[in-house]
Amino acid sequence: KLKQAEQLYERALQLDPNFALAAASYSRLQSWIYHTYEPNADRREKSRALADRALQLQPDLPEGHLALGFSIYYVDRDYDRALAEFALAQKGLPNEAEAYLAIGAIQRRQGKWDESNANLEKAAGLSPNETWPLQNLVLNYQMLRKFDLANKTVDRALKLAPDSFSLWSIKSQLETSEKGTFEIAERGVEALKSRPMDDETKIHFEVSLVQIRLLQRRYAEALQLTSSLKDEALAKDPEGLMGKYGAIGIAKKLLGDEVGAREAFLKAKGYAEKFVADAPNEAKRHDPLAECLAWLGEKEAAIAEAKRATELLPESVDAFDGPVCTRTLAEIYMIVGEYDKALPIIDGLLTRPTQV
């Protein structure tokens, strides 16, 4: 769908090179792809050039400022400059959710949780038929461990999209985070099994189910599920293949198959190394490699890789994603047997808003 959208925007700008709104929307698409999938120079340059083009064509275009704000936010990670652009967009789009959503997303990275919640709630109110603002708000409440509010909010979203796989996944994660149980996950699994899914959704469903089975220590089932996933189906997702073989490795190791586990972890390591090499300054790309190294017994390399992630994205810079890297460092210490170093990190994560 993203590729199709790119083609449509390209065609629109070919037909009308002065179509400022199309340039702004195309810039936002490039910024999102950079942020989510392909953090490379080509996406970065397109993101900024298209935003600049939109504002050159129409300097007061609110959507142009929104596009430039996303480029600065996602690509440069300059929160103050991005907020300034979003504020300009907000003046021109006072009844649109997007600027409030963007501002709220930045504020949580700054650790301004109350302000972030207020802006995300405002976005949800301005866009009552959309689930994305609510989904973002749920993540805030989850990190704040306000599970009652998180569940009420995800239920609001589920009323709008009762068959949404991502929303049911979030709801099951909330249950596991709060109670350590899997009742919602199991109900969701049974319900979704009988419903038609496109190939992409089916893969996400099966990958999520593997993670649930690993958490439940149902390793044989996890192994069976993971082994059934075809490499070709996962090839489009840069994290898919390393996730598959990492899960196979964990399941086999915990089932006592050391040789099979090592073989799987070596495959996962190869994919993880390429994943890092493609974007070495992306902090969270170092985490899967650290995990592979830890399971392979490469202790010092694993710790160094996990520490590199926390250096690239410290919590002082990003209070939303930074804790993910901190948590991974604790996990690495646990895998390699450095429990005295892991436990203080976990204790710290439990004292502030995090995913733990």
Q: What pLDDT is recorded for position 172?
A: 93
> Would you place residue 130 in the very low, low, confident or very high pLDDT band (cuts 50, 70, 90)?
very high
Q: What pLDDT is recorded for position 191?
A: 76
Is residue 138 pLDDT above 80, yes or no? yes
Q: Give the orientation angle of helix 165-179 with respect to helix 132-143, to 10 degrees.
A: 10
What domains lie within the chain, and their CATH numbers? 1-94 (1.25.40.10), 279-356 (no CATH)
* 29-83 tens-digit pLDDT: 999 999 999 999 999 999 999 999 999 999 999 999 999 999 999 999 999 999 9
pLDDT (average), residues 129-135: 96
32 neighbors 75 (Cβ within 8 angstroms): no
Q: What pLDDT is recorded for position 165?
A: 85
DSSP assignments along 245-308, one per residue: HHHHHHHHHHTT-HHHHHHHHHHHHHHHHHHHHHSTT-GGGHHHHHHHHHHTT-HHHHHHHHHH
pLDDT (average), residues 135-144: 97
> Would you place residue 187 in the very low, low, confident or very high pLDDT band (cuts 50, 70, 90)?
confident
Question: What is the overall mean pLDDT for the chain?
Answer: 95
State in Å, rounded, how far the first CA of the chain is from the last one: 33
> Would you place residue 163 in the very low, low, confident or very high pLDDT band (cuts 50, 70, 90)?
confident
- Which region among 1-5, 58-62, 137-141, 345-349 has the lowest average model confidence (pLDDT)? 1-5
* 288-306 tens-digit pLDDT: 999 999 999 999 999 999 9
CB neighbour burial string for 11-32, b if at least 16 within 10 angstroms, e if fewer:
ebbeeeeebbbbbbbbbbbbbb
Q: What is the DSSP-derived secondary structure letter of residue 164?
A: -
Is residue 199 pLDDT above 90, yes or no? no
Percent of the chain with pLDDT over 70: 100
Residue matched to tokens 């996400």: 204
Q: What pLDDT is recorded for position 329?
A: 98
* 253-265 tens-digit pLDDT: 999 999 999 999 9
> Would you place residue 237 in the very low, low, confident or very high pLDDT band (cuts 50, 70, 90)?
confident
Q: What pLDDT is recorded for position 193?
A: 73
> Would you place residue 1 in the very low, low, confident or very high pLDDT band (cuts 50, 70, 90)?
confident
How many C-beta neighbours within 10 Å does residue 161 have?
16
**How is residue 10 written in tokens?**
């390209």
Residue 89 burial by Cβ neighbours in a 10 Å radius (0-12, 13-18, 19+): buried
Is residue 239 pLDDT above 90, yes or no? no
Is residue 200 pLDDT above 90, yes or no? no
For residue 110, which of 83, 138, 145, 76 has the smallest C-alpha distance? Answer: 83
